[in-house]
Structure 1
Amino acid sequence: MGWEWYNWIAILLLACQGLFLYQSWRNFRYAIHKSRRTNEYYHPRVLLTVPCKGIDDEFAKNIASVLDQVYPDFVIHFVIEDASDPAFEYLNRLVSSKAGRGHACRVEVLIAGKGQECSQKIHNLLYSCHRAPDGTQIFAFADSDACLPPNWLNALVYPLRKDRCGATTGYRWFVPRTNNLATLALSAINAKVAQLLGNTMFNHLWGGSMAVRTDLFGPNDLERIWRNAISDDLGLSYAVKKTGRKVSFVPECLVASYEQTTWKGLFEFARRQFLITRIVTPGTWRFGLFAMIYSLLGSWGGLGMLIYGWLAGIEFNAVLWGAVPAVFLAGNVGLAILRQRMIRMLLPGDAATLRAAARADVWGTLAWSWLLFVCILSSAFGRTITWRGIRYRLLGPDHTQVLTPRSGGQ
């Protein structure tokens, strides 16, 4: 039989990669097209909740972006664990300085107390939602390390006018505050994930930029979903899809997160994100691991097979065998160019700052694929994470044990 079997594998690999590249192009077109729409008539009352802990990079800028949202009917809740958090005084000063100048009907800084059976972030979110003003129709959520464009809330709410839309989401894009290699790598591997979002059934919510209707998910519904959970977005994504509705990606709600990190910080962040995914939605984690193995095998395994064929002097289809690594390797570079073109259009104000990150993403994209694979693989073991200085043991999708807080955690 010889090596004819590999011809069929090569054809299968090329077909799958072709479909993936086509879907990525569709995601790009979707993001650009949808970013041009406007919401001029759908403005239900919104409660916007922003959980805070400590002072993030660019904290004042991020909080100001929340206060500067252009929307006719919304209330803002900033929620912290206790008054000793340095964010408490900082928030009160920022809110006071903006008093009477923003569009929000009311702005409050709430103290939620310590979470006992779920993550502190979820505890803060539930505390806010249970205190929603009368007539609230939308729950919107943002992270304190995200910088929101002025039209963010308006855009996030708009798709929820349709019943088939169960929730809306944006995503983060790491904008390096310094162009050290670890920070550029963080921006690049995050960009690879962001590129997967589009008009697809596979979208997942991201907790730093998401919204739901209260008639579908009121405070008690969220309490049931989140009561013992670690992740706000993955569990809610599952609940939305269980109703037969979709998670709609809103490109205008892809937000800048200004960040600088070290290699240690990068691996801690990435492992935490993927470990949470493994525990909460193991199918998604396994698919991600398979996708990375498939991509690396197509690129480097295909190249290895081609080199072996030449060196061993066997008869093989050089065009077919050569097409596999060529399509995979060139495709990775092409995808990096495509996503960097997309973000320049979606975040034009940060385009100049992102130049170094864009070059690093394109020229280092093959190395970042290996890094992403290592990060996913590192999350295959263990159940303990540290998040914002608090240690958690993840016993199951809806079973979280809060351990002794550790100072200095991220």
Structure 2
Amino acid sequence: MSLTYYEIAVIAFTSLVFLGLLLISVVRGRDDHRPGNYSPHVTVIVPCRGKDLTLERNLRSLVSQDYGDYRVIAVVDSLDDPAVETIRRVGLELMVSDARCEACSGKVRAIATVLERVRSEVYVFADSDAEMPPNWLRDLVAPLGDSETGLSTTFPIFYPMGGFWSHVKMAWGLVGMGLMESRITRFGWGGSLAFRSEIMGQRELEFFKSGVSDDIAITKICKAKGLKLAYVKSATPRVNSDDDFSTFIEWSNRETALSISASSKIFTYGITFYISHLFLIAMAAVLSIYISPAFVILLLPISITIARNCQRAGRRDPLFVLCNLLVLPVYTYNLVKGRLMKEIVWRGRKYRLISPDFQ
């Protein structure tokens, strides 16, 4: 069977896309967990607003850490917040947010309240919707024993406790875990993030209070100082999720919009990556049917990615494989939608997407 020049050009281009995605799929980063004797005094800051799913379990996991010298402070906007009853039942120290900032989010204000009032060698941010393993704090703090490391972070498994879209959220979240495994795409995740107090001077604190996202601000501060970001897989928390379609789409669009506001490169890289995957799947089908079944090999990069995600999540069932395939068009939509968004709604409040650089 002879091929036209056009067909040869299409196959050549498809082969280049295949090789690029194959290289990305097989290259793996490393876990920066390093056992050691670094065990400074730690203050864990937990902003709370409303009653998260499994909130009491999540808060109890924070006071059950196998770490010696630490305190946990929950921060609320008001003592009328529904989370206060649970906070008091668990026995956490409680503060009311009162930091002065204009464009900041409620979470940033809550964290800044503790940073301004409490002195500590290391500060840790913890989301109230995350359930931490007992080794979480010990493993998360350990990399900060290296003076060249600015922050230590991890990324959660979104554990499905609802219908179909909570399973899609689990697969979607593994995109973030994949980004963490590479030093090039790594970022600080504010749901579980540790840093030494020395990087947060007055100028840094004012910058921190100027934005909507806590983790984007800390990441920018560390990168501006030339400090490394450590990823600790062994500290992975569990975020229990009962999302339906509406809550999942709102959440995924918001998270993507925040990421794009931090760096326009995320949109460029992301849209190229996911469109390339969709293109390769389409070409695998077309070329296998019209030229040779051997072109099914074009599915190898996505197959490797799905197999790795199954390993990360500890699942190999057909539903989870389907969810991983669905993430491709969903995340492409998130990127386009997020690029167009100028504001987000976060825990009942509207914020304009402003993400200045740290100078």
Please give the secondary structure, in 1, of the residue aligned with 2:14: helix
CA distance in 1: counterparts of 2:126 and 2:232, whole angstroms: 14
1:64-92 deviations in whole A, cap 9, x for unaligned?
00111121111221111111101123211
CA distance in 1: counterparts of 2:146 and 2:97, whole angstroms: 33
Equivalence for 1:274: 256
CA distance in 2: counterparts of 1:165 and 1:392, whole angstroms: 31
Structure 1 position 183 matched with structure 2 position 142: no
2:52 alignment partner AA: D
The one of 227, 234, 248 equivalent to 2:230 is: 248
Write the mapping of 1:222-241 to structure 2, written as runs, cut at 5 A: 222-241=204-223
Please give the secondary structure, in 2, of the residue aligned with 1:175: strand
TM-superposed CA distance for 1:305, in Å, is 4.8
Please give the secondary structure, in 2, of the residue aligned with 1:140: strand
1:43 alignment partner AA: S
TM-superposed CA distance for 1:375, in Å, is 2.1
Please give the secondary structure, in 1, of the residue aligned with 2:211: coil
Structure 1 position 360 matched with structure 2 position 356: no
TM-superposed CA distance for 1:283, in Å, is 1.5
Structure 1 position 387 matched with structure 2 position 346: yes
CA distance in 1: counterparts of 2:259 and 2:220, whole angstroms: 12
1:387 alignment partner AA: W
TM-score, with length taken from structure 2: 0.90
Equivalence for 1:138: 122
Equivalence for 1:208: 191
Does structure 1 retain, via aligned residues, the 8 Å contact 2:14–2:283? Answer: no
The one of 78, 85, 88 equivalent to 1:89 is: 85
Please give the secondary structure, in 2, of the residue aligned with 1:367: helix
Equivalence for 1:157: 141
Structure 1 position 337 matched with structure 2 position 322: no
Write the mapping of 1:8-407 to structure 2, written as runs, cut at 5 A: 8-23=12-27, 26-27=28-29, 30-31=30-31, 38-39=35-36, 41-95=37-91, 108-113=93-98, 116-133=102-119, 136-178=120-162, 180-218=163-201, 220-307=202-289, 309-310=290-291, 318=292, 322-323=294-295, 326-327=297-298, 329-344=299-314, 359-394=318-353, 396-398=354-356
1:174 alignment partner AA: F
1:161-181 deviations in whole A, cap 9, x for unaligned?
112211111111111112x11
Bigger CA drift: 11-20 or 335-344? 335-344
Does structure 1 retain, via aligned residues, the 8 Å contact 2:148–2:228? Answer: yes
1:257-313 deviations in whole A, cap 9, x for unaligned?
011011111110011111112222222232212211111112214433554x54xxx
TM-superposed CA distance for 1:369, in Å, is 1.3
CA distance in 2: counterparts of 1:364 and 1:112, whole angstroms: 39
Give aligned pairs, total. Answer: 352
1:258 alignment partner AA: N
Does structure 1 retain, via aligned residues, the 8 Å contact 2:55–2:86? Answer: no
Percent identity over paired residues = 23
CA distance in 1: counterparts of 2:346 and 2:245, whole angstroms: 17
TM-score, with length taken from structure 1: 0.80
1:111-134 deviations in whole A, cap 9, x for unaligned?
01486420000010111111123x
Equivalence for 1:351: none
The alpha-carbon distance between structure 1 residues 125 and 222, as it changes in their structure 2 partners (threshold 3 A), is farther
Please give the secondary structure, in 2, of the residue aligned with 1:171: coil
CA distance in 2: counterparts of 1:359 and 1:204, whole angstroms: 31
CA distance in 2: counterparts of 1:281 and 1:225, whole angstroms: 17
Bigger CA drift: 367-376 or 6-15? 6-15
CA distance in 1: counterparts of 2:62 and 2:181, whole angstroms: 25
TM-superposed CA distance for 1:53, in Å, is 0.4
1:152 alignment partner AA: W
1:338 alignment partner AA: R
For structure 1, the 5+ residue unaligned runs are 96-106, 311-317, 345-354, 400-410
Bigger CA drift: 120-129 or 370-379? 370-379
1:355-388 deviations in whole A, cap 9, x for unaligned?
58x5422244222211221222222223121111
CA distance in 2: counterparts of 1:199 and 1:43, whole angstroms: 26
2:157 alignment partner AA: W
CA distance in 2: counterparts of 1:359 and 1:147, whole angstroms: 27
1:131 alignment partner AA: R
CA distance in 2: counterparts of 1:390 and 1:88, whole angstroms: 19
For structure 2, the 5+ residue unaligned runs are none
